[in-house]
Amino acid sequence: MTAKAKFRLKGVGQDAYLKLVTAFPLASIRSDEHLHEAHKVLDQLLAQGKLNVGAEMYLDALSDLVAAYEDEHHAIEPASDADMLRHLMEAQGVTQAQLSRDTAVPRSTISEILAGKKALSRRLIRKFADYFRVDARVLAANF
């Protein structure tokens, strides 16, 4: 028993998709050279701005293939609590003293986190996420 696709490309969308697949087939990426070529195609598509449905579908599929290869071969370790807090502070121009005053978190605690001597607790994650107006998951990567 075969299942019918819930969508079909027609017209310009189908033409664009087939043209892209013919130029750079959608297949598992097997090497860094292949990855480099896939990035070139992605860059070209992204530079075009608004894409038709066929090109958008192709872009999504190629992005998934690139992400799968990069996750396996070029994984990036999550940033440490210190790195994330430091980044948020620098991005918003906040000093340790100011963060301590505004959040009522002792400056010594902030210093220990930034030195990598102390991890963020759930309470601090919530407090800093609210303060910097970011999703708590940004700071909870190591939880």
Which domain CATH number covers 86? 1.10.260.40
Residues 85, 63, single domain; the answer is no
Domain count, the chain: 2
For the stretch 21-79, pLDDT in tens is 999 999 999 999 999 999 999 999 999 989 999 999 999 999 999 999 999 999 888 78
Residues 45, 88, single domain; the answer is no
Please state, in angstroms and rounded to a whole number, the distance separating the CA atoms of residues 103 and 124: 9
The dihedrals phi and psi of 99, each to the nearest 5 degrees, come to -60, -40
Which range marks the domain in which residue 127 is found? 81-139
Predicted pLDDT of residue 1: 47
- Model confidence at 125: pLDDT above 50: yes
3-state secondary structure of 34: helix
Residues 85, 65, single domain; the answer is no
Spell out the SS3 assignment of 9-35: CCHHHHHHHHHHHHHCCCCCCCCHHHH
Please state, in angstroms and rounded to a whole number, the distance separating the CA atoms of residues 102 and 83: 20
Instruction: Evaluate whether residue 3 is within a structural domain.
Output: no
Residues 61, 100, single domain; the answer is no
pLDDT above 90 covers a percentage of the chain that reads 78
